[in-house]
């Protein structure tokens, strides 16, 4: 049996305290209450839609879609990979290689490497490869210092900056491990939970596993607190919902594991991927995950393996990151839409295509409700805002239900608000500037 | 694994389907739910906030007030004060709606609250309609300061706006609903404006509201009454049957009345299980407003009302020619209601209630303020402790009476006055209403006793006037004692008769003046004194100051030449030809020479009329110069609002600075209409009306109308009457026009598809 330690392990129902139990019951009641309020809000707006059934269809579609994510996440605990320890085939300890591309990460790299070597896993079955992608700071010196502490550390030094993909590919080619754990240079996996990232590969159909990531610097300021809420929501709810159907579309670049035999054959193609004639310099993680899916393998998310990463702490950095992610989402959604309907029609039609529709239409509907209607029809977007607030509330209730201790839940509302007025429009900025291929992860 | 995944997919898909079903069906079934509505939350919240403030005003601290409001701390709910005196008359209030912003017809919740608190503070207590009916039928006595509060039309805003304060002070009210809107047969066509069955049930169950009938009101209460698209009130007119091309027959009319009045009663009783004993005449029309059925309407309606209801309310404030309160002896089918003005605070309401209360005898009035003198005809004014009544420019005389005197029976009524001008002065006694009273009639030549009974007048006695009267300071009187009447000059009985009709056995006092020419008659009254006759009239007479009368010598009559105004020649109007009514034009036969464009742009051609603003104007304005002589007409356009905020229909246009207009402003869901009167370029808004949410969002091919009949102006949108007002100073003739407007220059445009102007002949 897998050893599980401390607070990182999700408690079983039986071990819940009475207080936790009461809290969960309360959250469930609150959830149904909010669902009722959502329906009530719809009912009050319905007379407006008598003249416009398309808008009615749209609002019901969007609401159902968003609630379907919660339903998917609710089923996550019940999926087969969460019951893997029930079919205990004895020890499963394949050789694992950490691949860490880094560029000017002097201050952070020490912690990353230390945490790799501290992993709760036999040392002889661990390999750590760091690729210094032509750093111009003291990264190389730091690495050399680390090499003295951990002689097993493998350092690859690019004299000039090649880009993250090349760094990753280099590590993938060199890796001896059966499983490759790809980390960002400022991220690490909590050593006690490392096994949980490897465990799902017991199932031969699994091609990639994504760990649960939270920001290391959550408490720094308002923006990072908001991102802490967003990370929790996007991993534990959105990725969990994707994982329920074994189809996670993006195994996050900060901390994911791949089966080498799956990704190695497509490395060259992935490395030289182009979009509109130019090399793609973002969305590498999403692209790699999509290749795994395209090849017919399963990808999952595990909430048992925990990782930490540094999130942007200024608005400018956050916007840049968001633009990169949106570009990656856009390019890879085009890629995925070509095969996903054949590969997994259920996911394609209950999630993937609806998501594309909702993502692309949201900015238009937001513009109409928040800008055009108030100006031209003198209506206050009261119900629109209430609707968004209620859906966010429902997500918050589920968030609290999942993790009573996570104290960043109020920032879900802030994130929703910013998403409504800013982030959903960034997609269009991203699409318009898609030919700008500047490198840089952050 | 695949099997497990398949199971997960099935559960997920099932959950989504259930979710969609729950959301869609939930949304549609909650669409008309009234409990979880914004209005209802506001109602409950207002109630508690009123209770807290009321408890605080009664001296509790905040915590105790909150406790009291929520019924936690012990304190009896609103203490009900009951007078030990018996009510001699009962006032009935009628309200129509309670809106956020007050206008001419709708009260703000704040004003309504002020009025209710004033009633409470002055010891008034509400009664139920059942008690009221028993009181009118002489079956039950009620304490003094009992009052009945009613609402017409069954509007949601009335209930949600009024209920919190009524509940907070322990009052109840009666709601008159039109079942066509409030109990619709087709449940999909449910109004967001009128109360619906769920709400009516809750109201009844609260014990605070009694639901009574305002008839069915098919088609909103307005029906076609002639082949030329003329419309009229549904109860008092024969309906035009366009299929058979004739008016309905008397029996069809009776059937319709029975349906309107009988079925609505049954529908309410079946829905709510309460007794429907009263009726409120829609538009206050009990037959008097009929256009094509003047002979029968009143009798026919009365018959049907009688067979279905015990009482019916008709009169609506402010019409001053009647007593304002109700008495057990009154005709139960023509009971009166006071419509408090949205501008009245608590003091004004108290004033209007007080002047209608029974005035005790003996009664003196020296006119330091108006204690209830009302004009039924001609003019009335108060100045320097004097009451004047006079003929106005277009009346030959005047008639005023004193409210609160209805129950007086045997008394001496004496007045000191300055008979300034006019041939006749009348002192009225036993005044029941302006068709039933007795007068002592004084003129230079004659003294008479006239009895007026239901439009018939009988001369009971007359003699030549042989006395010299000092008109500048004369004392006149009338004494009514049982069936005898005496007329007095300077305290001397000069004429007496003793056979008045037994139906005129009680009633109040009044003054009447008359002259053969209009605008002449005028008296100024210094004081009045009314003394009750307890033992016999001789005693009362002996208490009066008496002056000896001097008989006049026979004189030659000298006639004054009468001045006649020389007719002013009419200035010759411009080239526009007179236009005859009815006037109907639609695409493609609009005539451009009918129109004169005063401002902005206008094009009239076979595509219709397009009016628009240009770069220099924010709107446009055009009139029909050939329509200046029109009097009463109904003017409808069918049009599109292409751009811009608003447009207005203009009627009674004398010149571009004098007219009335119905203006319709498209603000999306906040659209509204207003009725403006423009005098010498200055515009005054007389009424505003929020267009219901059901009104189309886009104004395309919609009908808007304005109707001017005598002094009444009505605005219509999409066939519904939305505003109407009585404008006493309105010019009696004037033409039609259209204007458009927007905030920005060059952004106003309408397209007119049809113009239909029908004459209204009263």
DSSP per-residue letters across B646-679: EEEEEEEEEETTEEEEEEEE--GGG-EEEEEEEE
- Which carries the bigger pLDDT value, residue B553 or residue B573? B553
Contacts of B28 in chain A (CB under 8 A): 43, 46
Chain A residues with CB under 8 Å of B4 CB are 79-80
How far is residue A222 from each of residues A385, A407, B461, measured CA to CA in Å? 22, 13, 99
Q: Is residue B107's pLDDT more than 60? A: yes
Which of A43, A47, A379 shows the shortest C-beta gap to B33? A43
Chain B residue numbers with beta carbons less than 8 Å from the beta carbon of A245 are 5, 8-9, 12
Helix, coil or strand: residue B603: strand
Least confident of A16-30, B152-166, B283-297: B283-297
Q: What's the confidence (pLDDT) of residue A47? A: 63
Query: B20, A78: Cβ pair inside 8 Å?
Result: no
DSSP label of A282 = S
CB pairs under 8 A between A and B: 88
Confidence of residue A68 (pLDDT cuts 50, 70, 90): very high
Contact B325, B91 (CB under 8 A): yes
* Residue A161 to residue B625: CA distance in whole angstroms: 85
Whole-number average pLDDT of chain B: 85
B17 φ, ψ (degrees, to nearest 5):
-60, -45
Could you tell me which residue, B33 or B95, shows the higher pLDDT? B95
The residue in chain A having the minimum alpha-carbon distance to the alpha carbon of residue B698 is A377
pLDDT on residue B158: 93
Q: Give the C-alpha distances (Å, rounded to integers) separating A60 from A38, A68, A263.
A: 10, 12, 40
Confidence of residue B163 (pLDDT cuts 50, 70, 90): very high
Which residues 319-358 of A are in CB contact (within 8 Å) with B?
346, 350
A372 touches chain B (CB under 8 A): no
- Is the preceding peptide bond at B362 cis, omega within 30 degrees of 0? yes
Residue A35: exposure state from Cβ atoms within 10 A (0-12, 13-18, ≥19): buried
- A416 and chain B in contact, CB less than 8 A: no
Hey, which residues 149-208 in chain B have their CB within 8 Å of chain A?
192
Name the nearest CA neighbour of B206 among B216, B195, B217.
B195
Question: Is A68–B23 a contact, with Cβ atoms under 8 angstroms apart?
Answer: no
Classify the C-alpha dihedral B314-B318-B321-B322 as positive or negative. Answer: positive
CB A284 within 8 A of CB A165: yes
Q: At what angle do helices A222-232 and A315-343 cross, to 10 degrees?
A: 10
Banded model confidence at residue B454, pLDDT cuts 50, 70, 90 = confident
d(CA B559, CA B171): 65
Q: What distance in Å separates residue A373's CA from the closest CA in chain B?
A: 9
Query: Quick count: other Cβ atoms within 10 Å of Cβ B485?
Result: 26
Report the pLDDT value the prediction gives residue B71, as an integer from 0 to 100. 61
Listed by number, the residues of chain A in 5-64 with a beta carbon closer than 8 Å to a beta carbon of chain B are 35-36, 38-40, 42-44, 46-48, 51, 60, 63-64
Interval B351-382: pLDDT, tens: 989 988 999 888 999 888 888 898 888 888 88
Output the six-digit token pair for A122: 């036999």
- Closest residue by Cα to residue B15 from A177, A51, A3, A67: A67
What are the E-state strand segments in A59-163? 96-102, 126-133, 154-158
Per residue in B343-354, pLDDT (tens digit) is 889 999 999 899
Least confident of A424-433, B132-141, B492-501, B664-673: B664-673
Rounded to 5°, the CA angle B65-B71-B77 comes to: 80
Partners of A277 in the β-ladder: none
Measured over all CA atoms, what is the biggest interatomic distance in chain B, rounded to whole angstroms? Answer: 131
In sequence order, the β-bridge partners of residue B201 are none
A269: buried, middle or exposed (CB in 10 Å: 19+, 13-18, 0-12)? exposed
Q: Is the pLDDT of residue A288 over 80?
A: yes
B270–chain A Cβ distance below 8 A for any pair: no
Considering only residues 660 to 689 of chain B, which have any Cβ-Cβ distance to chain A shorter than 8 Å? Answer: 667-670
Q: What is the per-residue pLDDT across B668-707, written as a single tens digit (0 to 9) for each? A: 767 888 899 998 888 888 888 877 655 777 788 888 999 9
Query: Please, which residues have CB within 8 angstroms of residue A222's CB and are 6 or more apart in sequence?
Result: A411, A414
DSSP A365-434: HHHIIIIIIIIII----HHHHHHHHHHHHHHHHHHHHH-SS-TTTTHHHHHHHHIIIIIHHHHHHHHHTT
B27 and A346: CB-CB below 8 Å? no
What integer pLDDT is reported at residue B369 of this predicted model? 86
The C-alpha atoms of residue A268 and residue A270 are separated, in whole angstroms, by: 5
Note the pLDDT tens digit of each residue in B596-611.
888 888 888 777 889 9
Closest CA to B504 of B461, B442, B463, B458: B458
Question: What is the least distance, in Å, from the CA of A376 to any CA of chain B?
Answer: 8
Q: Which residue has the higher pLDDT, B235 or A373?
A: B235
Task: Give the minimum alpha-carbon distance from B669 to chain A in angstroms, rounded to a whole number.
Answer: 7
Q: Judge: A79–B4 Cβ closer than 8 Å, yes or no.
A: yes
Percentage with pLDDT > 70 across chain B: 91
Q: Binning pLDDT at 50, 70 and 90, where does residue A228 land?
A: very high
- At B710, is the pLDDT very low, low, confident or very high (cuts 50, 70, 90)? confident
Residue corresponding to tokens 């973002």: A282
How many C-beta neighbours within 10 Å does residue B538 have? 9
The shortest C-alpha distance from A17 to chain B (Å) reads 29
- HSE at residue B439, side-chain half, CA atoms within 13 A, is 28
Sign of CA dihedral B377, B382, B383, B386: positive
Mean pLDDT of B625-642: 89
**Is the Cβ pair A75, B11 closer than 8 Å?**
yes
Q: Which residues of A touch B642 (CB under 8 A)?
A: none
Residue A7's pLDDT band, with cuts at 50, 70 and 90, is very low
Let me know: does B15 contact A71? Beta carbons within 8 Å.
yes
CA distances from A183 to A137, A180, A192, A255, B346 (A): 20, 10, 16, 5, 77
**Which residues have a Cβ under 8 Å from the Cβ of B336 and sit 6 or more positions away?**
B92, B313, B314, B315, B322, B323, B324, B325, B326
Contact across the interface for A245 and B30, Cβ inside 8 Å: no
Judged by a CB distance cut-off of 8 A, whether residue A80 touches chain B is yes
In this complex, is the C-beta atom of B21 within 8 Å of any C-beta atom belonging to chain A?
no
For residue B668, list chain A residues with Cβ-Cβ distance below 8 A: 373, 377-379
Output the CA torsion sign for B141, B142, B145, B147: negative
Q: Which of B3, B8, B10, B700 to mutate to test the interface with A (most CBs of A within 10 A)?
A: B8
Give me the DSSP letters along B247-272.
Answer: EPPHHHHHHHHHIIIIIHHHHHHHHH
Choose between B670 and A323: higher pLDDT. A323
Mean pLDDT of the B723-740 span? 88
A125 DSSP 8-state letter:
G
Q: Do B23 and A60 touch (CB under 8 A)?
A: yes
List, in order, residues 6 or more apart from A64 with CB less than 8 Å away. Answer: B16, B19, B20, B23
The answer to whether residue B13 neighbours chain A at the CB level (below 8 Å) is yes
Q: How confident is the model at residue A84 (pLDDT cuts 50, 70, 90)?
A: low
Task: Look up tokens 């009516």; give the residue.
Answer: B200
Cβ–Cβ < 8 Å for A188, A128: no
Say yes or no: A244 contacts chain B, CB-CB below 8 A.
Answer: yes
The per-residue pLDDT for A259 is: 92
pLDDT reported for residue B256: 92
What is the least distance, in Å, from the CA of A393 to any CA of chain B? 17
d(CA B158, CA B109) in angstroms, rounded, equals 9
What is the phi/psi pair of residue A265, to 5°? -60, -25
Partner residue facing B27 (CB), from A39, A350, A379: A39
Best residue of B11, B12, B696 to probe chain A, by most A CBs closer than 10 Å = B12
Task: Give ∠ CA B624-B630-B636 in degrees, rounded to 5.
Answer: 65
Q: What pLDDT sits at residue B573?
A: 46
Q: Which residues contact A262 (CB under 8 A, 6 or more apart)?
A: A207, A208, A292, A295, A297
Plot region of A415 (φ>0 → left; ψ -120 to 50 → alpha; else → beta): alpha
Q: Which two tokens stand for residue A393?
A: 């509330």
Q: Which residue of B has its CA nearest to A35?
A: B23
Q: How many CB atoms within 10 Å of residue A83?
A: 11
**Measured between CB atoms, which of A47, A80, A205 is closest to B192?**
A47
State the pairing for strand pair B658-665/A154-158. unpaired
Confidence check: pLDDT of B204 > 90:
yes
Q: What is the mean pLDDT of residues A195-219?
A: 89
Contacting residues for B112 by C-beta, under 8 A, at least 6 apart: B95, B98, B161, B162, B165
Q: Please give the angle made by the CA atoms of B585, B590 and B595, to the nearest 5 degrees.
A: 105
Radius of gyration, alpha carbons of chain A: 22
Instruction: Say if residue B343 is exposed, middle or buried (CB neighbours under 10 Å; 0-12, 13-18, 19+).
Output: exposed
H or E element, residue A339? helix A315-343
Among A5-14, B579-588, B715-724, the minimum mean pLDDT is found in A5-14
Q: Is residue A413 over pLDDT 80?
A: yes
Mean per-residue pLDDT, B507-525: 90
Determine contact, residues B674/B663, Cβ cutoff 8 Å: yes
Asked if the Cβ–Cβ distance from B20 to A43 is below 8 Å, we say no
Which residues in chain B are contacts of A387 at CB distance < 8 A?
Answer: none
Contacts of B667 in chain A (CB under 8 A): 377-378
Asked if pLDDT for residue A86 goes beyond 50, the answer is no
B749 - beta bridge partners? B612, B643
Q: What are the pLDDT digits (tens) for B124-154? A: 999 999 999 999 998 999 998 999 999 999 9
Q: Using alpha carbons only, give the angle B55, B56, B62 rounded to the nearest 5 degrees.
A: 110
Handedness of CA A400, A402, A408, A410 (dihedral sign): negative
Examine residue B582 and say whether the peptide bond preceding it is cis (omega within 30 degrees of 0). Answer: yes
Compute, in degrees rounded to 10, the torsion defined by CA atoms A54, A58, A59, A62.
170
Contact with chain A for residue B20, Cβ under 8 A: yes
A279-283, B118-122, B275-279, B412-416: segment of lowest average pLDDT? A279-283
The angle subtended at Cα B216 by Cα B211 and Cα B222, nearest 5°, is 130
Q: Do A63 and B37 touch (CB under 8 A)?
A: no
Residues of B in contact with A44 (CB under 8 A): 30-31, 37-38
Q: Provide the pLDDT for residue B174.
A: 96
A50 vs B contacts (CB less than 8 Å):
none
Instruction: Report the SS3 class of residue B534.
Output: coil
CB contact under 8 A, A75 and B5: no
Looking at the complex, report in whole angstroms how far the Cα of residue B13 sits from the nearest Cα belonging to chain A: 8
At B75 the pLDDT is 47
Kindly state the helix (H) or strand (E) to which residue B151 belongs, with its residue range: strand B146-151
C-beta atoms of A68 and B192 within 8 A: no
Q: Is residue A352's pLDDT more than 80? A: yes
For residue B438, which of B410, B400, B476, B480 has the smallest C-alpha distance? B480
């Amino acid at each position: 049996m897998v050893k599980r330690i401390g607070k990182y392990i999700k408690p079983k129902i039986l071990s819940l305290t009475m207080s936790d139990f009461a809290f969960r019951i309360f959250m469930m009641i609150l959830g149904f209450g909010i669902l009722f309020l959502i329906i009530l809000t719809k009912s009050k707006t319905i007379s407006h839609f008598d003249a416009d059934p398309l808008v009615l269809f749209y609002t019901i579609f969007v609401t159902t879609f968003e609630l379907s994510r919660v339903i998917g996440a609710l089923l996550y605990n019940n999926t087969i990979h969460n019951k893997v320890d029930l079919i205990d085939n004895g020890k499963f300890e394949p050789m694992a290689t950490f691949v860490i591309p880094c560029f000017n990460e002097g201050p952070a790299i020490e912690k990353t490497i230390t945490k790799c070597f501290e992993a709760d896993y036999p040392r002889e079955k661990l390999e750590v490869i760091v690729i210094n992608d032509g750093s111009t700071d003291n990264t190389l010196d730091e690495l050399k210092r680390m090499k003295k502490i951990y002689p097993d550390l493998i350092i690859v030094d690019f004299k000039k900056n090649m880009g993250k993909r090349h760094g990753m590919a280099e590590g993938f080619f060199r890796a001896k491990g059966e499983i490759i754990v790809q980390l960002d240079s400022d991220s690490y996996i909590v050593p006690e939970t490392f096994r949980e990232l490897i465990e799902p590969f017991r199932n031969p159909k699994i091609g990639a596993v994504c760990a649960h990531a939270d920001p290391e610097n959550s408490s720094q300021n308002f923006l990072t607190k908001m991102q802490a809420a967003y990370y929790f929501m996007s991993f534990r709810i959105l990725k969990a919902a994707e994982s329920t159907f074994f189809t996670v579309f993006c195994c996050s670049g900060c901390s994911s594991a791949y089966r080498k035999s799956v990704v190695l054959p497509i490395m060259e193609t992935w490395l030289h991927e182009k979009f509109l004639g130019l090399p793609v310099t973002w969305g590498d993680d999403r692209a790699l995950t999509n290749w795994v899916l395209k090849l017919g393998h399963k990808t999952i998310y595990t909430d048992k393996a925990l990782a930490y990463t540094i999130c942007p702490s200024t608005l400018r950095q956050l916007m840049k990151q968001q633009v990169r992610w949106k570009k990656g989402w856009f390019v890879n959604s085009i890629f995925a839409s070509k095969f996903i309907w054949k590969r997994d029609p259920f996911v394609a039609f209950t999630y993937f295509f609806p998501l594309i529709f909702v993502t692309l239409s949201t900015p238009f509907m937001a513009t109409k409700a928040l800008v055009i209607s108030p100006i031209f029809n003198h209506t206050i977007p009261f119900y629109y805002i209430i609707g968004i607030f209620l859906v966010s509330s429902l997500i918050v209730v589920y968030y609290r239900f999942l993790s009573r201790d996570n104290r960043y839940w109020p920032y879900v509302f802030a994130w929703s608000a910013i998403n409504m007025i800013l982030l959903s429009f960034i997609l269009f900025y991203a699409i318009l500037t898609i030919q700008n291929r500047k490198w840089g992860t952050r | 694994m695949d099997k497990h995944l398949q199971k997960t997919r099935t559960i997920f898909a099932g959950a989504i389907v259930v979710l969609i079903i729950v959301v869609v069906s939930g949304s549609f079934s909650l669409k008309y739910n009234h409990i979880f509505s914004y209005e209802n939350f506001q109602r409950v919240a207002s109630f508690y906030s009123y209770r807290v403030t009321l408890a605080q005003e009664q001296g509790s601290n905040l915590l105790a007030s909150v406790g009291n409001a929520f019924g936690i701390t012990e304190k009896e709910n609103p203490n009900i004060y009951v007078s030990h005196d018996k009510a001699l008359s009962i006032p009935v209030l009628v309200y129509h709606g309670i809106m956020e912003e007050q206008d001419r017809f709708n009260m703000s919740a704040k004003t309504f609250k002020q009025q209710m608190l004033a009633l409470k503070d002055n010891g008034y207590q509400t009664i139920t309609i059942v008690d009221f009916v028993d009181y009118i039928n002489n079956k039950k006595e009620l304490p003094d300061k009992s009052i009945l509060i009613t609402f017409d039309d069954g509007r949601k805003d009335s209930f949600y706006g009024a209920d919190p304060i009524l509940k907070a002070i322990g009052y109840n009210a009666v709601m008159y609903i039109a079942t066509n809107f409030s109990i619709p047969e087709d449940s999909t066509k449910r109004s967001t404006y009128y109360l619906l069955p769920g709400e009516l049930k809750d109201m009844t169950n609260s014990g605070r509201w009694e639901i009574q009938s305002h008839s069915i009101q098919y088609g909103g209460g307005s029906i076609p009454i002639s082949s030329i698209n003329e419309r009229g009130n549904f109860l008092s007119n024969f309906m035009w049957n366009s299929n058979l091309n004739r008016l309905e027959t008397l029996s069809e009319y009776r059937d319709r009345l029975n349906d309107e009045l009988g079925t609505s009663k049954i529908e309410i009783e079946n829905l709510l299980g309460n007794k429907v004993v009263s009726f409120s005449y829609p538009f206050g029309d009990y037959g008097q407003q009929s256009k094509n059925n003047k002979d029968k309407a009143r009798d026919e309606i009365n018959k049907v009302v009688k067979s279905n209801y015990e009482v019916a309310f008709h009169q609506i404030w402010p019409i001053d020619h009647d007593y304002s309160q109700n008495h057990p002896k009154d005709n139960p089918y023509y009971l009166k209601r006071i419509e408090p003005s949205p501008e009245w605070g608590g003091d004004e309401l108290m004033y209007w209630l007080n002047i209608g209360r029974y005035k005790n005898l003996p009664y003196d009035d020296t006119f330091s303020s108006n204690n209830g003198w009302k004009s039924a005809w001609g003019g009335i004014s108060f100045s320097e402790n004097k009451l004047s009544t006079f003929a106005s420019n277009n009346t030959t005389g005047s008639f005023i009476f004193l409210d609160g005197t209805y129950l007086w029976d045997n008394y001496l009524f004496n007045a000191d006055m300055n008979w300034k001008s006019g041939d006749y002065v009348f002192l009225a006694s036993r005044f029941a209403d302006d068709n039933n009273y007795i007068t002592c009639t004084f003129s230079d030549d004659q003294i008479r006793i006239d009895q007026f009974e239901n439009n018939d007048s009988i001369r009971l006695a007359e003699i030549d006037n042989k006395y010299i009267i000092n008109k500048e300071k004369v004392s006149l009187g009338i004494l009514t004692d049982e069936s005898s009447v005496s007329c007095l000059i300077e305290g001397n009985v000069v004429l007496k008769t003793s056979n008045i009709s037994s139906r005129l056995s009680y009633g109040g006092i009044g003054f009447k003046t008359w002259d053969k020419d209009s605008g002449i008659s005028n008296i100024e009254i210094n004081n009045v004194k009314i003394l009750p006759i307890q033992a016999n009239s001789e005693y009362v007479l002996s208490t009066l100051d008496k002056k000896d009368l001097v008989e006049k010598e026979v004189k030659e009559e000298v006639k004054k030449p009468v001045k006649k105004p020389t007719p002013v020649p009419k200035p010759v109007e411009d080239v526009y030809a007179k236009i005859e009514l009815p006037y109907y034009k639609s695409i493609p036969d609009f005539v451009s020479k009918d129109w004169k464009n005063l401002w902005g742009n206008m094009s009239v051609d076979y595509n219709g009329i397009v009016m628009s603003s240009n770069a220099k104007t924010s709107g446009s304005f055009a009139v029909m110069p050939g329509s200046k002589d029109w009097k009463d007409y109904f003017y409808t356009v069918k049009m599109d609002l292409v751009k811009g905020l608003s447009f207005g229909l203009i009627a009674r246009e004398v010149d571009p600075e004098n007219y009335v207009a119905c203006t319709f402003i498209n603000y999306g869901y906040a659209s509204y209409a207003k009725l403006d009167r423009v005098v010498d370029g200055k515009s005054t808004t007389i009424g505003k009306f929020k267009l219901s949410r059901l009104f189309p969002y886009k104004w395309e091919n919609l009908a808007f109308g304005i109707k001017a009949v005598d002094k009444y102006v009505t605005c219509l949108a999409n066939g519904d009457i939305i505003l109407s007002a009585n404008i006493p100073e309105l010019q009696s003739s004037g033409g039609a026009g259209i204007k458009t407007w927007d905030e920005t220059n060059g952004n106003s445009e309408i397209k007119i598809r049809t113009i239909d102007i029908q004459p209204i002949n009263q």
